[in-house]
Structure 1
Amino acid sequence: MILEVAELRVKPGCINDFESNFRKASKIIAQMPGYIGHELHKCVETADKYMLFVKWDSIKDHEIGFRTSPQYEEWKALLHHFYDPFPKVEHYVQIRN
């Protein structure tokens, strides 16, 4: 399992529209092969800051399966215009005890 992590900074005055569009975009990503689940967290201290966590079966499912799909174009149209700066996305694996 791979955890995709992205810090999202939303442009001032766009928070409500972003959250509304994110609900729509959530339905898109949830249908993708290799998708396991996701969570969006809003920062308490910084109103325009969010953390997105998406669980995938593999990096390939995210980087190739999702990002090269027509569904990703819908995702981009719904969300990418809200970000400033554009988010850096990283992938993590869990270290077992």
Structure 2
Amino acid sequence: MILEAVVLQVKKGMEAEYEKAFRGASKIISSMNGYISHELQRCMEVEGKYLLLVQWETLEDHTVGFRQSTEYQEWKKRLHHFYDPFPTVEHFEKVYTLES
């Protein structure tokens, strides 16, 4: 499993509109091959700052399967105009988990 992590800064005053657009766009990403789950979290300290976490089966499911798809073009159209600056996307693999 690969974790895609993205810190997003949404333009001031557009947060509610962004959250609504994100909910609608979630159908796009969740339909992709290799998709496992995703969540969007709002920062409590910084207005307009969000953390997007997406779990993929493989790195290529995101970088090739999603990013090079027509579905990604629709995702981009719905969401990318909200960001300033444009976010950096990073990928992580699990090293350690403590289970209770």
The answer to whether TM tops 0.5 is yes
Q: Counterparts in 2 of 1:20-39, with a 5 A limit?
A: 20-39=20-39
Structure 2 counterparts to residues 1-80 of structure 1, below 5 A:
1-80=1-80
Normalising by structure 2, we get a TM-score of: 0.95
Q: Please state whether the residue corresponding to 2:54 is helix, strand or coil.
A: strand
Counterparts of 1:22 and 1:71, CA distance in 2: 14
**Aligned partner of residue 87 in structure 1, secondary structure:** coil
Once the two structures are TM-superposed, the CA of residue 47 in structure 1 deviates from its matched residue by 1.6
Distance 2:57 2:31 in 1: 13
The percentage of aligned residue pairs carrying the same residue is 54
How many residues align? The count is 97
Instruction: Describe the SS at the equivalent of 2:39.
Output: strand
Q: Which amino acid aligns with 2:58?
A: S
Local SS of the residue matching 1:13? coil
| Distance (Å, rounded) in 2 between the aligned partners of 1:44 and 1:90 | 22
RMSD of aligned Cα (Å): 0.8
What 5-or-longer segments of structure 2 have no aligned partner?
none
Counterparts of 2:24 and 2:33 in 1: how far apart (Å)? 18
